[in-house]
Amino acid sequence: MLNNYGVIFDSMKSIILRLLFSFFCLNFSLSIASNTSSKDKILETNRSKYANTINVKQNDNGIVNILAQAATTDPLLHKITDISGKTKIELAELYYNTLFFPSEEIFMKIRKKDPEKAWGNFIAQAVNKNGCVANGKGQGIYKGCDKYYSLDNLLKSFDNLKNITEENYQKAKSMNTAAVESTLKERDRVDNFAVTDSDLDNLRQIAAFFAHMTTETGGSDGSQSNISAAYAFSAVQEGNCGNGEECEQYKVTSQPSGGNFPQWKKYINENYYGRGGKQLTYWENYEYYSQALYGDFRLLENPGLLVEGDKQYSPGEYGLTTSLAYLLLRYHDNCQTLETRDKNNNPIVNANCGPYYPSVDFDKPSMIEAFGKENSIETFRSKQWITLSDEYGKPGFGLSINLINGGVECKANMTYQAMNRINFYIEYLVRFGADIKNVVISYSNGSENVFTKEDLINNMINNSEGASDVSEWFTKYTTSPLLEMQDGKDKLGIYSNLDKISHITIEYGNGYIEHLDCVGYRTIGE
């Protein structure tokens, strides 16, 4: 029996030892898991909340890169924002919100003279522009715009566009259509936006994007110099069109000229006034971008999606995705990006086209192509590819104005709208830290105004800190780099002598000279 007990004892001892070993291993693994969990929690706390929305390499998103950099270079804001210990995405979000949606506290730190009155004027002007108009109600500047135009929505929208252009390219490849090359170029334009080998080009692209959106969303009245980036993103819809006004000029009331639109009567109850970050306007643009982005006619059938959203996308995603598409995609007047052509390069209209078939084949370059090399921009017109000559504008910001709104803003003389866009562009270049040597305004009589970077910065600072009781012709709050204000007036008389301006150029530290205006240019649509 003793032997049996000994065997039993040895067996039990072995079992106990195995249990102890298992318990030790389990405890050790739990300890590791616990420590890992703690580290994960720390990492999760510090991880960017946009990590799942940026479909690019880490630290390789141009929008985030430039905004984060601006948090340390902006001459008006970098000293009043706490940037210590923040990640790149946190810096970008901090700067973005401080610039476009400043709190009263931040605003008063910028505006040192008569800050209470200045804040009141700032809010009043923003609200007078109908604030963030949505769902037929004027919501005021801080009751919706900050959400609609949030950095999160902007990054999601960019990611959406990357996915869309990749899908278009893959679809063209699978169909083996003639659009393989064009869809590849569009995908690459989106993928390479502001992440080129040139830091200056990246900065210029982002500055141009924000300059044009600032113009469209409340940064200027067009007929006067209400110019400051702080007024950007204060509207989602055009004027009072979504707030009671009929805005009949944007409705489809008859068969459009210049094309075949057999289903036009189906859309007579819709109104295609400006909506979103680029103020998408007119039914043909709603149809084109709906087809190009979503492969259907949702925006044509329900233009209110840019304000109301749906189950798939938020209002801001619709509004900002179309804005980015306007920047980065070519406008093919013949159907969509998956068009096909015969052996003579003539367009073949097929079932993939929308309800509107233009009678004129026209391929309009994307806005971002304006920042390419000279004599490198091609467009399809009159059944042949042509290279845009200097009569349409030299590469640079001026050509981008021509591509966006040349018929209105690119006249024989400088227009208010174009001048405001130029001021915005220069303002963002300064804020984002561009190496600027000077800006030169040339007049038809041979005289010039020359602004060094120091001049531009001083104007921005002095204007933002100046007295608020300036004349009604000028905004109560301006950060314009080309306005030297004195006693509430334009000391140099730039805005009162627009008809005498021949050209405006900017020279960078590397010697490159960019043309900023579109005075006298032939419009792209001609």
Cβ contacts of 146 within 8 Å, gap of 6 or more: 97, 100, 101, 233
Decide: 366 and 327 in contact? Cβ < 8 Å.
yes
Single pTM value for the model: 0.81
**pLDDT for position 257:** 53
Indicate the domain borders of the chain.
147-331, 400-515
Q: What is the pLDDT of residues 364-403, one digit of tens each?
A: 889 999 998 776 787 766 666 778 778 888 899 999 999 9
Q: Can you give the pLDDT at residue 122?
A: 62
CA distance 515 to 389: 14
| Range of lowest pLDDT (55-59, 161-165, 448-452) | 55-59
| Cross-strand partners of 504 | 441
In the predicted structure, residue 103 carries a pLDDT above the cut 90? no
Half-sphere exposure of 115 (CA within 13 A, CB side): 10
> 335 and 347 in contact (C-beta within 8 Å)?
yes
Length of the chain in terms of residues written: 526
Token duo for residue 80: 């009043």
Q: Which helix (H) or strand (E) holds 430?
A: helix 416-432
Q: Three-class SS of residue 12?
A: helix
Mean pLDDT confidence for 272-287: 90
**For 482-487, which contacts have Cβ atoms below 8 Å and span 24 or more sequence positions?**
482/422, 482/423, 482/426, 482/439, 482/441, 482/451, 482/456, 483/225, 483/227, 483/423, 483/459, 484/459, 485/459
Please tell me the least confidently modeled range out of 135-139, 215-219, 495-499.
135-139
Looking at the chain, the whole-number percentage of residues with pLDDT higher than 90 is: 39
- How many of the other CB atoms lie within 10 Å of CB of 43? 9
Residue 182's contacts (CB-CB under 8 Å, 6 or more residues apart) are 172, 330, 337
**Rounded Cα–Cα distance for residues 26 and 20 (Å):** 10
Residue 269 has which token pair? 């109850």
Residue 274 · residue 261 · CB < 8 Å: no
Take residue 510 and report the two structure tokens written for it: 């590397």
Which residue in this structure is represented by tokens 């004195």? 486
pLDDT band at 24 (very low <50, low <70, confident <90, very high): very low
Residue 495 has pLDDT above 90, yes or no: no
Q: What is the mean pLDDT of residues 246-266?
A: 69
Phi and psi for 433 in degrees, rounded to 5?
95, 25
Does residue 444 surpass a pLDDT of 90? yes
Q: Rounded to whole angstroms, how far apart are CA atoms 213 and 324?
A: 10
| Structure tokens belonging to residue 252 | 């489809």
CA distances for 294 relative to 157, 167, 449, 458, 470, angstroms: 13, 10, 47, 46, 47
Which option is the CATH number for 147-331: 1.25.40, 1.10.530, 3.40.50, 1.10.287? 1.10.530
pLDDT score recorded for residue 360:
46
pLDDT in tens, 129-151: 445 644 334 433 435 688 899 99
**Terminal-to-terminal C-alpha distance of the chain:** 111
Mean pLDDT of all residues in 485-494: 78
CB atoms inside a 10 Å sphere around CB 107: 18
Which residue has tokens 């109560």? 476
